[in-house]
Amino acid sequence: MALYLGKDLGDLLIITLNNAVEAVLAIILLAKCELALLQSTIVGVVILHLLLIPGTSFLVGGYNIRQQMLHPHHSELNHSLLMIGVLATLLPTAFFAALDRGASAVAAAGSEAGSSLVNDTTRDQLLQMSRGIAIMLLTVYVASRIYMHNPPGENNALTVPQDAPPEIHHEEKHLLEEEPLVSSWACMLLLVVTVGLMAVTAEFLVESIDEVREKSNIQVEWFGMILLPIVSFSADGAVAVIFFFQSIYDHLTGREILVPNMLARGRAIDLSIQFTLWWMPFLVLLGWWTNKPMHLMFDYFEVALLLGSCFLVNYVTADSKTNWVEGLIMVIFYLMIALVTWFYPGQPEAVFMLACKETVAEAVARGVEGESKSVVAAGAAAVLARIP
């Protein structure tokens, strides 16, 4: 179908469909008021597509070649798009952190007129700023797609420069000459059927979440940030692994000579950009429409992981070149995140501020939050102590 739409719209379609499983999963979590788990899953999906998937691609693709090339235009623009998407989660989180550690917190502790900042008033402020930021992020993403499709000026499209490596010119020529093997109607029908089946599968996955958590005693943060994103990507990952081992087998048996690929596969980074600039703000606005308090104040630990992943990816791709060592570094950093997250219980204040079926005060008073019972039970006493 991407061949019928052309290069730019085709790339957008491929990126959107690759994000479809995670997007449907996120929408179902929003509908079921699993907001804390939803935020963890958003972070997990982004760092999976920033670190593990491209890191594995760079590691495998560069094992028999000194370095691989990334598309220079895409890399330059992606750095800015990725950074603003991550910084959008930092602003509301920094706002809440500053209030919580500033003069207001001191006044709340020493004055009867003061009140805890973990309340509905603060959450309403976070919701208002998050919805405004969400609209701005959507504007940035739409503007970036327009720019990539049709930059200003005559004959100024984002074509490959003349001094680009010959492998990039060959790739562009191959895409222009490639012909679709099936009709457009068959493609559309297949897409409708597969998206429908995928939605049903995602529904089954969400329904099994509570049972798996109760039986396994896995931390909610690790479940949302590591397990769910990997499970949602498992089908694509299995296909990639099968094709990789098939190519190795063909090379060893002499059926096909395995030629080193000079072009690095960095499309997974585009998936993270779309998820932060389109799907994340879309979920905030959808929560606004459905009266779900989804906002952009994330757990402090989650924001730190997003920033660290963004900086590492931008450093690795800054020169539009990669090698297997850089791929290994990205994979190792993801494994570090998975290890640390296994022991992380979560931030109680962040969970209380995402109370979906009750007010923040009721969630704190009850000491039980349906999205993260273990986290809230551990932190309820500490938060209650701050409420006069």
For 140-163, write each residue's pLDDT tens digit. 999 998 888 777 665 555 555 555
In the DSSP assignment, the letter for residue 263 is B
What's the half-sphere exposure (Cβ side, CA atoms, 13 Å) at 325? 2
* pLDDT confidence bin for 5, thresholds 50/70/90: low
pLDDT at 275 over 90: yes
* pLDDT confidence bin for 8, thresholds 50/70/90: low
pLDDT at 55: 87
| Spans of all domains in the chain | 2-106+118-346
**Which fold does the domain 2-106+118-346 belong to in CATH?**
A middle domain of Talin 1 (1.20.1420)
Closest by CA to 372, choosing from 382, 384, 380, 383, is: 380
Over residues 21-49, the pLDDT tens digits come to 889 889 999 999 999 999 999 999 999 99
Q: Do residues 264 and 69 lie in contact, with contact meaning Cβ atoms separated by under 8 Å?
A: yes
Closest by CA to 98, choosing from 382, 297, 248, is: 297
Rounded Cα distance between 104 and 116, Å, is 9
Rounded Cα distance between 122 and 65, Å, is 54
Closest by CA to 88, choosing from 293, 315, 360, 278, is: 278
Which tokens is 186 given? Answer: 């068959």
pLDDT at 142: 94
Which tokens is 155 given? Answer: 């004959």
Rounded Cα distance between 357 and 377, Å, is 17
Give the number of residues written for the chain.
388
At 318, the amino acid letter reads A
pLDDT at 254 over 80: no
pTM: 0.81
